[in-house]
Amino acid sequence: MQSIWTYLENAIELYAVDIAIAIVIVIIGRIVVKMLAGLTGKILTRRGVDETLRKFAMSIISALLMTVVFIAALGQLGVETTSLVAILGAAGLAIGLALQGSLSNFASGVMLIVFRPFQAGDYVEAGGVSGGVVEVSIFTTTLLTPDKKRVILPNSQVTGGPITNYSAEETRRIDFVFGIGYGDDIKKAKEVMLDILTSDERVLKDPAPTVGVLELADSSVNFAVRPWVKTADYWNVYFDITEKMKLRLDAEGISIPFPQNDVHLFQQTN
């Protein structure tokens, strides 16, 4: 028993300085890491980086720097750090391969937060889904569809295809196509359509609405009717103008053709 205590006393005397230095390295290292993480957070805040990304970046920096601090402390105690670093590298590679999908979603989430193709409240079409953006997190994006379905998309699916942001601009153009009969007065129809657009206060004067003959179709002369509106008024104007066009064209005696087939019957005589 006495030999054990003697061994411990000798070991403490031999490694006391190294242990003390290792403890000092950890304490000072934690202070420095905290300062650097805080400085990083302030820089990202001044640059307008999203809070989610800012907090995540601070946690990653803290974890990496603290790993360096602990490796330095272990090296001071005489632990062979070269093999330890190799083990950590191999473990990191194995974890990365196992979490390939999650890492892909994470990378996509960082891209969405940094480049901001949309933000919360925008109405977008992404990943094959259309809806209002509820939240953009590191791994997923949450959309709310017009019929109140909450859809959670992996970020890799969002960035893997085209992203259409319908709320990015203050104004939008509505594209209508209205057809009239070949026997109707084209000039009169055009005047009626322009009058409907200009009489609606929600239709913008600049840029001015456009009405023009689009094509001579099989059974109708089609007009392209293109008013500009504020993005928030898009659907209300769309529905109202469609109804007004039908009622006004009927009142003006202008026909709206619909597809029809003529069937000819031939009587065979013997």
Segments making up each domain of the chain, as ranges: 2-98, 118-165, 171-251
- Considering only residues 142 and 69, tell me which one the structure prediction assigns the higher pLDDT: 142
Task: Flag whether pLDDT at 226 surpasses 50.
Answer: yes
Contact 223, 178 (CB under 8 A): yes
Alpha carbon distance 160, 153 (integer Å): 11
How high is the pLDDT of residue 67?
A: 80
Q: What's the mean pLDDT when you consider all of the chain?
A: 82
pLDDT reading at 51 higher than 70: no
- Burial of residue 18 (number of CB atoms within 10 Å: 0-12, 13-18, 19+): middle
Q: In this predicted model, which residue has the larger pLDDT, 10 or 115? A: 115
| pLDDT value for 196 | 95
Q: Do domains 118-165 and 171-251 have the same CATH topology?
A: no
C-alpha 51/C-alpha 114 separation (Å) is: 11
Residue 142, classed as helix, strand or coil, is: strand
Q: What does the pLDDT read at residue 99? A: 46
Q: What whole-number distance in Å separates Cα of residue 13 and Cα of residue 46? A: 50
Q: What is the CATH number of domain 2-98?
A: 1.10.287.1260
Mean pLDDT on 141-155: 92
CATH number of the domain located at residue range(s) 118-165 in this protein: 2.30.30.60
Residue 207: is the preceding peptide bond cis (ω within 30°)? yes
Yes or no: say if 104 and 87 are a contact pair by the CB < 8 Å rule: no
Tell me the range of 70-74, 167-171, 255-259 where mean pLDDT is highest: 167-171
pLDDT over threshold 50, residue 4: yes
Distance CA 259, CA 220 (A): 9
Cβ atoms 166, 172 nearer than 8 A: yes
Q: Is the pTM of this model over 0.85?
A: no
Are the beta carbons of 224 and 211 closer than 8 angstroms?
A: yes
**Statement: residue 187 has pLDDT above 90:** yes
Q: Which amino acid is at 250?
A: D
Closest CA to 105 of 161, 152, 157, 142: 157
Q: Residue length, the chain?
A: 270
Angle between the N-to-C axes of helices 51-76 and 81-98, in degrees from 0 to 180, rounded to the nearest 10: 150
Question: Which of the residue ranges 10-14, 44-48, 138-142, 158-162 has the most confident prediction, judged by mean pLDDT?
Answer: 158-162
pLDDT of residue 235: 92
Q: What is the pLDDT of residues 73-107, one digit of tens each?
A: 777 766 666 665 666 665 555 555 444 556 777 78
pLDDT for 37: 83
- Where helices occur in the chain by DSSP H, the ranges are 2-46, 51-76, 81-98, 100-115, 155-159, 186-198, 234-251
CATH T-level assignment (fold) for domain 171-251: Alpha-Beta Plaits (3.30.70)
Lowest mean pLDDT among 5-9, 69-73, 141-145, 157-161: 5-9
202-219 pLDDT, tens digit each = 999 999 999 999 999 888
Q: Which two tokens stand for residue 119?
A: 């933000």
